[in-house]
Amino acid sequence: MPMRRFLSFRDFDWGLLVVVLVLCAISVAEIYSATLLTKFHGFHSRQILWICGGMIAMFVLSRVDYHRLLDFVPWAYGFFLLGLAAVLIPGIGHKALGGRRWIKLGPMLFQPSEWMKLVLILMVARYFANLGGRRLTWGDIGKAFAMVGIPMLLVLKEPDLGTALTYAPVLVAGLFLGGINLRQSLILLTVGLVLGAGAWSSGKLLKPYQKARLTSFINPDEDPKGSGYQVRQSLIAVGSGGIWGKGAAKGTQTQGYFLPIPYTDFIFAAFGEEHGFVGAIFVLLLYFFILMRLIQNAQTASDLPGSLIIMGVVAVLTFQIAVNVGMVIGFMPVTGIPLPLMSYGGSSVLFTFLALGVVMNVRMRRFVN
Phi–psi pair at 106, nearest 5 degrees = 65, -125
Helix axis angle for 346-364 and 14-34, nearest 10°, is 170
Range of the domain at 45: 9-364
Overall domain count for the chain: 1
Q: Which residues pair with 11 in a beta bridge?
A: none
Tell me the chain's radius of gyration from C-alpha atoms.
Answer: 21
2 located within any domain = no
348 located within any domain = yes
324 located within any domain = yes
- pTM (2 d.p.): 0.90
Cis amide prior to 159 (ω within 30 degrees)? yes
Q: How wide is the angle at C-alpha 50 spanned by C-alphas 47 and 54, nearest 5°?
A: 140
Q: What is the pLDDT of residue 305?
A: 92
Q: What is the pLDDT of residue 331?
A: 83
Give the span between the Cα atoms of 80 and 103, in whole angstroms. 12
Q: What is the pLDDT of residue 213?
A: 63
60 located within any domain = yes
Q: What is the pLDDT of residue 247?
A: 84
1 located within any domain = no
Q: What is the pLDDT of residue 4?
A: 44
Q: What is the pLDDT of residue 1?
A: 33
Provide the 10 A C-beta neighbour count for residue 6.
Answer: 8
Residue 25 · residue 45 · CB < 8 Å: no
Q: What is the pLDDT of residue 3?
A: 37
Q: What is the pLDDT of residue 329?
A: 87
180 located within any domain = yes
Largest alpha-carbon pair distance within the chain? 71
Each residue's pLDDT expressed in tens, for the chain with a length of 369 residues: 333 445 667 788 899 999 999 999 999 999 998 888 777 788 889 999 999 999 999 999 998 899 999 999 999 999 999 989 988 887 777 776 666 777 777 666 778 888 899 999 999 999 999 987 778 899 999 999 999 999 999 998 888 888 899 999 999 999 999 888 889 999 999 988 888 777 667 666 666 666 666 666 666 666 666 667 788 888 888 888 889 988 887 888 877 778 888 888 889 999 999 999 999 999 999 999 999 999 999 999 988 999 999 999 999 999 999 999 998 888 888 877 899 999 988 888 999 999 999 999 999 887 655
Q: Is the dihedral of CA 106, 108, 113, 116 positive or negative?
A: negative
3 located within any domain = no
